[in-house]
Amino acid sequence: MTDPTSPLPQQNTLPARVDVLVVGVGFGGLAALHRLRTDHPELQALAIERGEGAGGVWRENDYPGAACDVPTSLYSLSFAPNPDWSHTYGRRHEIHAYLRSVAADFADQIEYNCALTSARWDGDAQEWIVATTRGEIRCRFLVAAPGALSEPGLPAVPGADEFTGTMFHSAQWDHSHDLRGRRVAIVGTGASAIQIVPEIVDTVGHLTVFQRTPAWVVPRVDRNIGPLERTLYRRVPGLHRLVRRMVWTYREAYVLMMARNPKLLPIAKSIALAQLRVQVRDKNLRRRLTPDYTIGCKRMLLTNKWFPALQRNNATVTGAITRLTARGAVDDAGREHELDTVVFATGFTPTQPPIAHAITGRDGRTLAEAWAGSPRAYRGVEVHGFPNLFFLYGPNTNLGHSSIVLMLEPQAYYMSKAISELARNGHSAFEVTESAQERYNADLDPELERTVWNSGGCSSWYLDSTGRNSVMWPKFTSDFRRMMASFDAADHRFDDAIPVASTTAGDTTAPATDSDTERTVAP
Ligand code: NAP
């Protein structure tokens, strides 16, 4: 969350009240704005965004080499297909440009440089009172779309205040800091680190990678999408959709490996080990780069450039960082490395989202207090005690195998559907019952227990502080889409004090079949 004291424009140009307030303009926020415009033109919807522009995680993460490790065919909103991707795996700058271009269509509904600082449910008025860096705004429905991978997770390394060099997190890259010739450390070996290291190794004087746990790395089969192919996609949208569906189908099969049948994992392991053997000839280094947990337990990393970069003459792989000193950092063998710059590629805090501390529900508890370290929701978007709140990219909606966009659009669809139900029945507020939320999680938890994320012998950001997997969705994206296509009134309690204006224009009748669903939600 943006520091409320940061120098943002102070004049309040916000309306006093809107029907729906969307917080965050990344993929999730844009999916919500689209659904609201399409299904509920009668409602006044506004989005606020803490940044100067749209893009969410793709605005924040602008480190060297930032790119997508999910095929770009799946990395666009279904209502805004993009035939112009340059590669099968999109580069960060083009994904960011794509999101900004989609957001331009909603320009009159977005307030940038406006961060939520708190939100409180007013039970008497049946609405949310939202404080922002630009003043207060009230809304009937609050749609939180903060994303999961924008808030830097900075480890508390002893001695950090002694270090006299430059330090920053990968998601807050200091572009004013020239790395040429410098002694640079990268802390971490996750998806961010493996993209950064090959990009900077030839620029820096010396690169030290502090590796606490080696990662399973598989080849990245990327290719240019030439002008002819792009023209074809533009002129024959059906072909573009067909390619998207084919890519979606084969990526769905990954779930079988990670969540259903771990016996298939050795296939991925043998591919990873083959790449390691071919690219790393030094047996000692190879041993240090070989993980001891089951492949897939942490996110499998896609790159052909990581191992070659680690073997450059000016690169060193060492153990975990234990402390910082005035001159550098000490590894777990007690050796001090002299450094000018330390980059923390140490990930994010998705199970402790800062916005959860800012949202206070019906009984005066914040979301963070209700979750007590282990986020739980109903269908990933609703939380008992928090009426009229939709939390996009909420608990157990992340994927290990496909595009998050395929999960966000059904969530936006569900939001729209719920609002329609409320309007139709003359209710003013709804809230999932405690028993429905408990039942939902009681069904989900055993499914998660069987997955490689829970049982693969690693620690990862999928597991929260209680050890529970509150991040991943363990089934197919089509299962999620089907679940989100209907709103179950029996799982909710309703308030009737101030009805939402009933309208047929806002009807989002449940799609009966997959092909109907495709009209509204990806793929
Ligand atoms: P990450 O996967 O959470 O990796 C963090 C790394 O930092 C790990 O190697 C971890 O070591 C290390 N680390 C964390 N705390 C540490 C500490 N106190 N001391 C030493 N090492 C520490 O973070 P990430 O690489 O930023 O990626 C996060 C997620 O963002 C990914 O899983 C992915 O979903 C997404 N992402 C996607 C793309 C893309 O291409 N679409 C690119 C980048 C990121 P341990 O393994 O020992 O914990």
Q: Give start and end residues of each alpha helix (H) in 110-263.
A: 193-200, 227-235, 237-255
Ligand 1 atom closest to residue 155's alpha carbon, by position in its atom list: 18
CA–CA dist 212, 319 (Å, integer): 6
- Report the percentage of the chain scoring pLDDT > 90: 88
Question: Closest by alpha carbon to 461, among 160, 155, 23, 185?
Answer: 155
pTM attached to this predicted model: 0.93
Q: Are 408 and 393 in contact (CB under 8 A)?
A: yes
Average pLDDT in the 237-265 region? Answer: 89
For 17-151+349-520, the fitting CATH number among 1.10.645.10, 3.40.1160.10, 3.40.50.720, 3.50.50.60 is 3.50.50.60
CA–CA dist 53, 287 (Å, integer): 45
Mutate to test the pocket of ligand 1, among 299, 401, 458, 469 (most ligand atoms within 8 A of CB): 299
Interval between CA 301 and ligand 1 midpoint (Å)? 10
With a 6 Å cutoff on the Cβ, whether 345 touches ligand 1 is yes
Q: Domain residue spans in the chain?
A: 17-151+349-520, 166-221+250-344
Average pLDDT in the 276-304 region? Answer: 97
For 166-221+250-344, the fitting CATH number among 3.50.50.60, 3.65.10.10, 3.40.50.150, 2.40.128.20 is 3.50.50.60
Looking at every residue in the chain, the average pLDDT score rounds to: 92
DSSP secondary structure string, 247-287? HHHHHHHHHIIIII-GGGHHHHHHHHHHHHHHH---HHHHH
CA–CA dist 146, 227 (Å, integer): 35
Q: What is the pLDDT of residue 505?
A: 38
Peptide bond into 146 cis (omega under 30): no
Interval between CA 517 and ligand 1 midpoint (Å)? 34
With a 6 Å cutoff on the Cβ, whether 413 touches ligand 1 is no
Ligand 1 atom closest to residue 191's alpha carbon, by position in its atom list: 25
Mutate to test the pocket of ligand 1, among 212, 213, 297 (most ligand atoms within 8 A of CB): 212
Question: Closest by alpha carbon to 2, among 33, 31, 24, 20?
Answer: 24
Mutate to test the pocket of ligand 1, among 170, 346, 398 (most ligand atoms within 8 A of CB): 346
CA–CA dist 472, 470 (Å, integer): 6
CA–CA dist 496, 465 (Å, integer): 38
Q: What is the pLDDT of residue 399?
A: 95
With a 6 Å cutoff on the Cβ, whether 323 touches ligand 1 is no
Interval between CA 499 and ligand 1 midpoint (Å)? 46
Whether 17-151+349-520 and 166-221+250-344 share one fold: the answer is yes
User: Is the pLDDT reported for residue 522 higher than 80?
Assistant: no
Query: 104-118, 206-220, 500-514: which has the minimum mean pLDDT?
Result: 500-514
Residue type, position 205, single letter? G
Interval between CA 21 and ligand 1 midpoint (Å)? 32
